[in-house]
């Protein structure tokens, strides 16, 4: 085994787990789940088949990642984040269930107890505030907070909030082109 699995974790033998990923107690990873290298999957997580987790991803305690959710590289997912995979849930369905895919792009951060509705895309290096409910797409480098979430500002790649001049205390600066925030190199 090229990854660490706690004795109290359940990992299906047909799940794909990358090298040096750490899987902690009471995690359940189902057949068909794909998890990249150097990830940290904390206690009590559930990862369903048909979900994809990239490289260098941190998934804190009590997160469920369902089929149709794709998490790109370098993403942080706070404790008890809920990914919703059914826009019209019913216990006893008469019609066919429709899977709506959710995408969390590279470098994004999702705060603890956030809820992410199915069918949305969270942009690169975006920040979702703790407890926020995301019902629409979030653009790259955008910070959203609240229920429903709304724009609160813009974030640097380092995670700090940009000032009014779109500059970060780390030294990077950004510009807006065609309604998109882009790093100025």
Residue-wise pLDDT tens digits, 54-95: 999 999 999 999 999 999 999 999 999 999 988 888 888 888
Average confidence (pLDDT) over 120-129: 98
Q: Do 157 and 143 contact (CB within 8 A), yes or no?
A: no
- Return the pLDDT at 95: 86
- What percentage of the chain exceeds 70 in pLDDT? 100
Beta strands in 2-106 (DSSP E): 4-5, 10-11, 16-17, 22-23, 28-29, 34-35, 40-41, 46-47, 52-53, 58-59, 64-65, 69-71, 76-77, 82-83, 102-104
**pTM to 2 decimals?**
0.95
Tokens 């998934």: give the residue.
59
Task: Band the pLDDT of 180: cuts 50, 70, 90.
Answer: confident
Higher pLDDT, 180 or 165: 165
Per-residue pLDDT tens digits for 41-53: 999 999 999 999 9
- Tokens in use for 162? 């940009």
């Amino acid at each position: 085994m090229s990854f660490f699995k706690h004795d109290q974790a359940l990992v299906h033998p047909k799940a794909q787990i990358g090298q040096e990923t750490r899987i902690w107690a009471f995690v359940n990873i189902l057949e068909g789940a794909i998890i990249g290298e150097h990830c940290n999957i904390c206690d009590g997580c559930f990862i369903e088949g048909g979900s994809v987790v990239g490289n260098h991803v941190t998934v804190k305690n009590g997160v469920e990642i369902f089929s149709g959710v794709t998490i790109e590289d370098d993403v942080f997912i706070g404790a008890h984040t809920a990914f919703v995979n059914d826009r019209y849930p019913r216990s006893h369905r008469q019609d066919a269930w429709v899977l709506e895919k959710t995408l969390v792009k590279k470098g994004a951060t999702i705060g603890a107890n956030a809820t992410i509705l199915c069918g949305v895309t969270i942009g690169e290096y975006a920040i979702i505030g703790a407890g926020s409910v995301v019902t629409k797409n979030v653009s790259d480098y955008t910070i959203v907070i609240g229920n429903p979430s709304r724009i609160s500002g813009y974030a640097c790649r380092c995670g700090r909030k940009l000032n009014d001049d779109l500059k970060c205390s780390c030294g990077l600066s950004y510009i807006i082109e065609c309604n998109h925030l882009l790093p100025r190199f």
